[in-house]
Amino acid sequence: MAGDGGGIASSSNKYNPTMLVFLASLVTACGGLMLGYDIGITREVISMPSFLKSFSVLSTNQLTTLFTSSFYLAVLLVQYPASIATSNFGRNFSIIIGATTFVSAAFPSAAATNVASLIYGRLLLGVGAGFVIQEAPLYISEMAPPKDRGILNTLFPFMINIGILLANLVNYSTNKIKGGWGWRLSLGLAAVPAAIVALLECEKESSMLRGTDNILEEYRDLREACINASKANSNNNNKCVLIFQRTFKPQLVIAFLVPIFQHFTGINAIILNALFLFQTRSNEHGIINAAINLLMSFVIGQVFLRYAAKLIHLFYIFAFFVLCMTLFVAYFLPETKGDSIEDMQKEWSQHWFLRRFVLLEGSYHQSTGNTR
């Protein structure tokens, strides 16, 4: 379905997605559920009184950062070994190995008695997640018919948001458990989405996946793609050289810049550090934020791209949202460069709009005309 110079675009309209394709893509997309659950549960668990009582040393910013970032460090470091395993054994193998590792790592995290064992569990979770999140989107792309590849690929980020929402709901419930072991249940339940991925079926008939008995034409397309790939590889001993050829420059630039610009927006940092940015936030607020995030992901990924994108140019739509966001930041957010978190309330109290909502320490703001 994909290759260096070959594909099935010419006859892609003859392949109809079946329920089995959707279910297989959904199960594979549960790799995003693993990542989303870990993102949501980590930032919530470190605020639970029972967890802080068990690991009082995590009250320092350095150790808290180590606890949260050790997962992502392991994800980063395991990418190259995961690619080697995929090249030798296939994507299914990497996904199942990653999910199995994630399941086995959830229990040490839940049973941790000291910071070292807690960090060890986080590193193992990162190793498992690194295998899965590298291969899951590509696995979905290869399984989906070309005309439905985009809509099925959005299942992965959609499942990430579902994982964040589920993590908030789980933490809301476990936080009420008496006895101080609720945080262990929150961390241990990370094994559930990973177990779903580990149970993924590895073998499926092409006729069942494509919704047609005439798979000969697709087979010919695949064979042609493989031949073209072999020719390209024979001319370029190093496969990495291919992506720097002029033919693939647009794909290379887009693949490189999109994640960078996404990080520049700050949304990833906000998601990971929302607990510290909004220290007065309750569990209910976390659930509401996650629910809105999930809703907007569905609207953009499933509804908008499927229907509205055919009628309205995407560039102008997103340019409009960027303009709105820029104006909002310029007029409604105060300048906080160089200020600490503790000084945020003072900055907000001097802002032309936010000062009417900020409660100063020791008295209400002058606009209320009241004092404590």
Q: What is the DSSP string of 73-112?
A: HHHHHTHHHHHHHHHHH-HHHHHHHHHHHHHHHHHHHHT-
Task: Give mean pLDDT, residues 66-87.
Answer: 87
Q: Domain ranges in the chain?
A: 17-211, 342-368
Residue 177 has pLDDT above 50, yes or no: yes
- C-alpha 214/C-alpha 291 separation (Å) is 43
pLDDT for the residue 321: 82
Q: How far apart are CA 210 and CA 201, in angstroms?
A: 16
Please state, in angstroms and as integers, the Cα–Cα distance from residue 348 to each residue in 132, 288, 343, following that order.
42, 23, 9
Tell me, rounded to whole angstroms, the distance of Cα 203 from its chain centroid: 27
Say yes or no: domain 17-211 is CATH 2.60.40.10: no
298 burial (CB, 10 Å; 0-12 / 13-18 / 19+) is middle
Mean pLDDT of the chain: 74
Mean pLDDT calculated for residue range 227-255: 70
**pLDDT at site 372:** 40
Name the strand (E) or helix (H) holding 184: helix 182-188
pLDDT > 50? residue 178: yes
Among 135-139, 173-177, 271-275, 337-341, the minimum mean pLDDT is found in 271-275
Can you give the pTM of this predicted structure? Answer: 0.67
Asked whether 196 and 24 are in contact (CB, 8 A), the reply is: no
Give the model's pLDDT for residue 366.
43
- From CA 20, how far away is CA 14, in angstroms rounded? 17
Share above pLDDT 90 across residues of the chain, in percent, rounded to a whole number: 3
Report CA dihedral (224, 227, 229, 233) to the nearest 10 degrees: -170
**Kind plus residue range of the DSSP H or E element containing 264:** helix 249-264
Would you say residue 164 has pLDDT above 70?
yes
